[in-house]
Structure 1
């Protein structure tokens, strides 16, 4: 049987983590309560297996994939409890997950075999400061009429479309939590947010990047690049480690990450299935998508 852990018990799953777990940043951010997420386990006292769900973004499996106390109920759990939580917490309609190895691939395949499934590869990138410094001289200058701003309480409050509040509250419990833990920069026209780059997940000095340009007419104009460049400069100045994660098929994100000096380090298989209408690819918004340079 699968149980939801109380948030003050999240640390019980730390023993299931391995040194090579590329999702440590996300997992620790949820355990620590910095970012939104829930954790489900086979045993609330001594868990052997766990599913960490970053609300509206991704599900991550850790621990013993052969533990039938967990895997036997996984299909019904995804269709029931996880589906309800995803719908109620952010209106999500899809189950998105990464599988760390062949054992988990087998377990997840069995659990959702009755669904139409799409697979992809999720790439984890490492920041190369030298490459960033070498490439930033080629970035387009900010056009006249636009400004580059650090995201603070004033910028969020004066955003006429409430874009930043919506984004921040996807990842954090509150705007105050973001302002305490996260970092962000945006390109604006007046008070209107054109493009924003911010920390969507934080653990200690490690920050996962989310970036988006909001109107189609503003895409491919270099706005996301400039917002990201300001963010990366801040990371370098303050000893923070930025992280970039994207799907292999998200060509815009792959291209932008490379342009910013990120280099591929690891990859995991990615699963997508519609849990509402039996179609296909979970979440309020996949922060690995809609990245435009």
Structure 2
């Protein structure tokens, strides 16, 4: 059996979720009802297994060998998140974290009834330890760092970057809640916001932050400077736990965290789904191609992505062409032509990738048209 708790009863799941709450501030935010969420349990009075959902992630905790509860989780997923009834309607992806590795085979069974296989991923969680630099010394010339406050939001108006607007609308529900309970710092270049570090969630003395930099302003040290300025504010505001989550395959984010003074608290695994089937299979294809270098499997996934998408993007055709070229398949040229037709224009990359060396003399190999 599985039961959905009423918000006033969320506290009954706190003990089972305590391990996850140590390194996921969102869990505490859901328990304390300062951020949207849902909680399902096996026993509403004395839970031993818990499935919790925040706007950021879903979590499984407690006893992983409770067959009736696990079957209930499958039913809940199919009736809610997979059917469009989501805590965060704008999130294209469902991520699930577990409180122990013992949940992983159980989770595979829970998800086995879904139409496509889950994506396994690996993240790192960092916590801030002590400052390693003065952010003012790292700020490049021509940039200014300032707090994202009421005045700046008003000044930006419709020019506010969509990523910030979406973070405030989705993560904080509204601007007033963000200004009261959240915080953020930005780097300005000619009055344009080009780098942002925002609080994703806050509860008491705990918070989690995230960084984003406009691509044309990367590799200048902005992320490090803005993150350091944000952490400086956090310490002055009394936060004793500052968390940072990022993928193990994201050296830029890892480098920023370490340079500022974060230390690795733990690595962890997660399962994820994109609710959009073509995007899900495209991501599986990317993982098989880049991470595993299993080109046949990459082709299989990418071809499903193409078949299930009404208008496949150019990068899916192009990645399929690359995988087929590794396999020395002539049909790689057909996919290259489809990529160009879909908008591919990186001619320099096309001329330098070694897997296409044997194809470049073919008259059907795409060539840049002036």
TM-score (norm 2): 0.67
Structure having the higher Rg: 2
Counterpart residue number, 2:92 = 93
Give, in whole Å, the separation in 2 of the partners of 1:18 and 1:198. Answer: 25
**Secondary structure of 1:72 counterpart:** helix
Give, in whole Å, the separation in 2 of the partners of 1:277 and 1:244. Answer: 29
Higher RCO (C-alpha under 8 Å, 6+ residues apart): 1
Number of residue pairs the alignment of both structures matches: 275
**Secondary structure of 2:102 counterpart:** helix
The answer as to whether partners of 1:16 and 1:62 remain within 8 angstroms in 2 is yes
Counterpart residue number, 1:83 = 82
The answer as to whether partners of 2:17 and 2:27 remain within 8 angstroms in 1 is no
Residues 2-53 of structure 1: CA distance to partner in whole angstroms, max 9, x if unpaired? Answer: 4433322222211213457543522111222222332233344443322222
Q: Aligned runs of 1:116-135 on 2, under 5 Å?
A: 116-129=117-130, 132-133=131-132, 135=133
Matched, 1:28 2:28: yes
Residues 163-219 of structure 1: CA distance to partner in whole angstroms, max 9, x if unpaired? Answer: 333212221232222222222111123543211112111121111012112x32122
Residues 231-281 of structure 1: CA distance to partner in whole angstroms, max 9, x if unpaired? Answer: 111122233131111121222211111111111121221112233317356
Q: Taking structure 1 as reference, are residues 166 and 276 closer, same or farther at Cα in structure 2, changes over 3 Å only?
A: closer
Counterpart residue number, 1:156 = 153
The answer as to whether partners of 2:88 and 2:170 remain within 8 angstroms in 1 is no
Q: Which stretches in structure 2 are left out of the alignment for 5+ residues? A: 284-370
Counterpart residue number, 1:14 = 14
TM-score (norm 1): 0.83
Counterpart residue number, 1:247 = 247
**Secondary structure of 1:102 counterpart:** coil
Give, in whole Å, the separation in 2 of the partners of 1:32 and 1:148. Answer: 33
Q: Taking structure 1 as reference, are residues 11 and 157 closer, same or farther at Cα in structure 2, changes over 3 Å only?
A: farther
Shift of 1:86: 5.7
**Secondary structure of 1:92 counterpart:** coil
Q: Which stretches in structure 1 are left out of the alignment for 5+ residues? A: 282-293
Q: Taking structure 1 as reference, are residues 20 and 99 closer, same or farther at Cα in structure 2, changes over 3 Å only?
A: closer
Measured on the aligned residues, the alpha-carbon RMSD in Å equals 2.5
The answer as to whether partners of 1:199 and 1:208 remain within 8 angstroms in 2 is yes
The answer as to whether partners of 1:139 and 1:222 remain within 8 angstroms in 2 is no
Counterpart residue number, 1:171 = 171
Q: Taking structure 1 as reference, are residues 181 and 243 closer, same or farther at Cα in structure 2, changes over 3 Å only?
A: same
Q: Which has the higher strand share?
A: 1
The answer as to whether partners of 2:127 and 2:262 remain within 8 angstroms in 1 is yes
The answer as to whether partners of 2:94 and 2:275 remain within 8 angstroms in 1 is yes
